[in-house]
A and B are shown apart, each in its own frame.
Chain A
Amino acid sequence: MNNSIIKLSTLLLFSALLTACGDDGDTGPQGPAGPQGEAGADGQDGSDGQDGINGNSAVYTVQITNLTYSQPFAPAAVILHESGFHSFNEGEPATMGIEIMAEGGDPSMVITEAMDSTDFLDAQNSGGILGPRSMGTELTLVVPELDADDLRLTVTTMLVNTNDAFTGLNAANVSNMAVGDIKTFMTVTWDAGTEANTETAATMPGPAASAAGGGGEAAGYDVVRDDLADAVRLHQGVVTSANANDPSREGLSTSVLTEAHRFDFPTSRVVITRTR
Chain B
Amino acid sequence: MKFTKLASATLLSLASVSVSQAVTLDIEITNLTQAQSFTPRLVIAHDDTVDAFEVGQPASSALAWLAEAGVIDDEQNADSSGANFEALLGPVDTDNGSNTWHRFGGLLAPKATLSYPFDTMGKPYLSLLSMLIPTNDAFVGMDSIEIPTEPGTYTYYLNAYDAGTELNDELNSARTDVVEAGTGNALGGYGVPGVAGGGAPTRIVDLGTGGTGVGAQIVNGEIEDGEDGPVHIHRNALGDTDSAAGASDLDSTVHRWLNPVARVVITVPAP
Contacts and interface: CB of A to CB of B under 8 A. Distances in A.
Interface of A: 65-70, 132-135, 183-186, 242-243, 246-248, 250, 259-260, 262-267, 269
Contacts of B1: 186
Given A67-B232, A135-B56, A250-B252, A265 B241 contact: no
A256 to B, nearest CB: 17
Nearest to B257: A264
Interface stretch (B108-116, B181-189, B191-199, B242-250): B242-250
Given A247-B246, A250-B252, A264 B236 contact: yes
A264 B233 contact: yes
Contacts of A134: 56, 230
B263 interface: no
B233 A184 contact: no
Given A184-B2, A267-B233, A246 B55 contact: no
B232 A133 contact: yes
Nearest to A67: B233
A69 B241 contact: no
Interface of B: 1-2, 5-6, 9, 55-56, 159-160, 162, 164, 214-215, 228-236, 238, 240-242, 245-247, 252, 258-259
13 contacts: A66-B56, A67-B232, A68-B233, A133-B55, A133-B231, A243-B241, A243-B246, A248-B241, A250-B240, A262-B235, A264-B236, A264-B259, A265-B233
Contacts of A265: 159, 233, 258-259
Contact of B162 (A69, A183, A247, A266): A69
Contacts of B215: 259-260
Nearest to A245: B246
A259 B228 contact: no
A243 B252 contact: yes
A60 to B, nearest CB: 17
B199 to A, nearest CB: 26
A269 B232 CA distance: 11
Given A133-B164, A185-B2, A186-B2, A246 B241 contact: yes
Given A265-B259, A269-B55, A259 B238 contact: yes
Contacts of A247: 240-242, 245-246
Nearest to B170: A259
B241 A250 contact: yes
Contacts of A185: 2
A68 B235 contact: yes
Given A133-B56, A264-B235, A246 B240 contact: yes
A174 B6 CA distance: 10
Contacts of A69: 162, 228, 232-235
A135 B159 CA distance: 18
B244 to A, nearest CB: 10
B68 to A, nearest CB: 17
Contacts of A133: 55-56, 164, 229-232
Contacts of B238: 242-243, 259, 262
Contacts of B234: 69, 264
A134 B232 CA distance: 9
Contacts of B9: 183
Contacts of B230: 133-134
A135 B160 CA distance: 19
Given A69-B162, A259-B214, A246 B232 contact: no
Given A242-B238, A246-B240, A247-B241, A68 B55 contact: no
Contacts of A259: 214-215, 235, 238, 247
Contacts of B6: 183
B242 to A, nearest CB: 5
Given A259-B214, A264-B235, 9 more contacts: A65-B56, A69-B233, A69-B234, A69-B235, A186-B2, A246-B242, A259-B247, A264-B233, A264-B259
B247 A243 contact: yes
B159 A186 contact: yes
A22 to B, nearest CB: 108
A248 B55 contact: no
Nearest to B230: A133
A147 B228 CA distance: 43
Contacts of B162: 69
